[in-house]
């Protein structure tokens, strides 16, 4: 039930966020804004959901995940309803960006943190199934949003998403629960947050997120417009973003069980490297079917990376402050997410091409893989000893 609840939180939260690709052209047409300004709507939301993962995780460690995720669902619902009434890109920053950012942050980290203590041997598999909600949301919700936009316009589509998130989100709040209820003054085994933040492994993990996430969200925002620049239809562009979600869904289900056997740390490094390779494929891609292959395999590596990261944190630092540590690390992902899609849009507005940001993102993904390689067995053993 906890895995299902976490899956649902990520399905509705990230589904609402990644459906942004379906609204991109509508925002440009409605507000006459350049791509950099429109892309910044998503970038700010991404930055905030990773930023608020830190306090969300700390609050979940202290008060349990139910209250925190309930607040997150309320933020998501309010954001979507207010976005449907926006009259400018500035209003989207104030409604969609802030509300979705805070809302996802308050459901994502507390729910993925709640899953970790329930499993030991098959933790990566369980985490992968839970986080597969992100891939499922990325695949289904943009297509659903595009259909609603066609039927009701973009404002009506946001109202439909509001009801969609409210119903499923409330059901997930009812189902989520912590693994252990502590007595007053009792502490779970593991490394406390402040001590974890002083370790070399924490610094390397943080750096990997800053570097890797600079490029990982660029396709979520710009792959659709990129395809349309090549002459493909808007529906084909939105479909590519959904293919990223499909690959992500497959990656979250399939990578975890292999990582449990082959090693979660090394598997995470290979996921980062795979992202870099696929970004190089995108750099030279012009045919639609090559773009489809890129989207699916990129999504698979992205899904594997997102599924494995929390399990490695649990391996290193134990259950005591797992949500707070994950949330604090994810602020690094927020920095990358804020910079990547926005700078890619700015680069396009300046040069008329995405070539430079794609190539730079590939290089950063390879550097992120190097950071994970630096979290060697010595760091894993030291972290366990501290716990």
Q: What pLDDT is stored for residue 170 in this prediction? A: 93
- Say if residues 371 and 333 touch (Cβ distance below 8 Å): no
Distance CA 100, CA 106 (A): 10
Supply the range of the domain harboring residue 225.
Answer: 2-177+189-386
User: How many domains does the chain contain in total?
Assistant: 1
Distance CA 56, CA 69 (A): 8
The three-point CA angle 48-50-54 to 5° equals 105
Q: Is 312 helix (H, G, I), strand (E, B) or coil?
A: helix
Tell me the pLDDT tens digit for each residue of 190-240: 788 888 888 999 999 999 999 998 988 898 888 888 998 899 988 888 889
What is the rounded average pLDDT of the residues 92-119?
A: 87
Residue 323 in any domain: the answer is yes
Residue 97 in any domain: the answer is yes
- The pLDDT confidence band at residue 308, using thresholds 50, 70 and 90, is confident
Which letter, b or e, does each residue of 315-334 get, where b requires 16 or more Cβ atoms within 10 Å of its Cβ?
bbbbbbbbbbbbbbbbbbbb
Residue 183 in any domain: the answer is no
Residue 120 in any domain: the answer is yes
CATH code of the domain in which 51 resides: 1.20.1250.20
What is the rounded average pLDDT of the residues 178-195?
A: 66
**Higher pLDDT among residues 253 and 65, named by residue:** 65
Residue 95 in any domain: the answer is yes
- Say if residues 226 and 238 touch (Cβ distance below 8 Å): no
Residue 184 in any domain: the answer is no
Tell me the CA distances in angstroms from 175 to 1, 30, 199, 264, 299, one per residue in order.
Answer: 6, 40, 35, 28, 28
Could you report how far apart the first and last alpha carbons of the chain are, in Å? 28
Q: What pLDDT is stored for residue 187 in this prediction? A: 57
Element (H, E) at 366: helix 355-374
Distance CA 83, CA 78 (A): 8
- The pLDDT confidence band at residue 185, using thresholds 50, 70 and 90, is low
Q: What are phi and psi of 198, to 5 degrees?
A: -95, 0
Tell me the pLDDT tens digit for each residue of 109-150: 888 878 877 877 777 778 778 877 887 887 888 889 989 998
Is it the case that residue 31 has pLDDT exceeding 90?
no
Question: And the tokens for 250?
Answer: 């497959």
263: left (phi over 0), alpha (psi -120 to 50) or beta: left
Residue 195 in any domain: the answer is yes
Distance CA 353, CA 19 (A): 23
Residue 36 in any domain: the answer is yes
Distance CA 185, CA 164 (A): 40
Tell me the CA distances in angstroms from 176 to 107, 135, 140, one per residue in order.
Answer: 11, 20, 23
- Say if residues 323 and 114 touch (Cβ distance below 8 Å): yes
How would DSSP label each residue in 320-364? TTHHHHHHHHHHHHHHHHHHHHHHHHHHHHHHS-SHHHHHHHHHH
Percent of the residues in the chain that have a pLDDT greater than 90, as a whole number: 32
Distance CA 342, CA 222 (A): 10
Is it the case that residue 180 has pLDDT exceeding 70?
no
- Say if residues 301 and 275 touch (Cβ distance below 8 Å): yes
**Higher pLDDT among residues 255 and 294, named by residue:** 294
- Say if residues 113 and 60 touch (Cβ distance below 8 Å): yes
- Say if residues 191 and 178 touch (Cβ distance below 8 Å): no
């Amino acid at each position: 039930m906890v895995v299902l609840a976490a899956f649902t939180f990520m399905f509705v939260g990230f589904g609402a966020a990644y459906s942004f690709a379906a609204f991109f052209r509508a925002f440009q047409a409605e507000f006459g804004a350049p791509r950099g300004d429109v892309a910044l709507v998503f970038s700010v939301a991404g930055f905030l959901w990773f930023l608020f993962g830190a306090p969300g995780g700390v609050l979940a460690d202290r008060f349990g995940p139910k209250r925190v995720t309930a607040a997150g669902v309320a933020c998501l619902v309010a954001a979507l309803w207010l976005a449907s009434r926006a009259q400018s890109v500035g209003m989207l920053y104030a409604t969609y960006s802030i509300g979705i950012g805070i809302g996802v942050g308050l459901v994502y980290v507390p729910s993925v943190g709640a899953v970790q203590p329930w499993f030991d041997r098959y933790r990566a598999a369980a985490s992968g199934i839970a986080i597969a909600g992100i891939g499922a949301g990325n695949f289904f919700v943009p297509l659903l949003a595009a259909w609603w936009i066609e039927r009701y316009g973009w404002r009506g589509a946001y109202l439909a998403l509001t009801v969609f998130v409210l119903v499923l989100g409330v059901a997930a709040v009812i189902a989520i629960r912590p693994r252990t209820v502590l007595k007053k003054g009792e502490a779970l085994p593991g490394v406390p947050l402040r001590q974890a933040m002083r370790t070399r492994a924490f610094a390397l993990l943080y750096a990997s997120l800053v570097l890797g996430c600079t490029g990982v969200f660029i396709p979520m925002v710009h792959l659709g417009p990129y395809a349309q620049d090549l002459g493909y239809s808007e529906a084909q562009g939105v479909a590519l973003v959904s293919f990223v979600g499909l690959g992500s869904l497959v990656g979250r289900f399939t990578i975890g069980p292999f990582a449990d056997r082959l090693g979660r740390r090394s598997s995470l490094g290979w996921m980062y490297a795979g992202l870099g390779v696929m970004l190089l494929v995108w750099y030279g891609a012009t045919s639609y079917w090559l773009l489809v292959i890129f989207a699916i395999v990129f999504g698979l590596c992205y899904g594997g990376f997102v599924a494995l990261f929390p399990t490695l944190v649990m391996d290193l630092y134990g259950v005591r402050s797992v949500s707070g540590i994950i949330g604090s690390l994810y602020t690094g992902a927020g920095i990358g997410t804020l910079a990547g899609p926005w700078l890619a849009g700015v680069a396009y507005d300046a040069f008329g091409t995405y070539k430079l940001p794609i190539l730079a993102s590939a290089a950063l993904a390879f550097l992120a893989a190097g950071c994970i390689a630096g979290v060697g067995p010595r760091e894993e053993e030291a972290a366990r000893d501290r716990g």
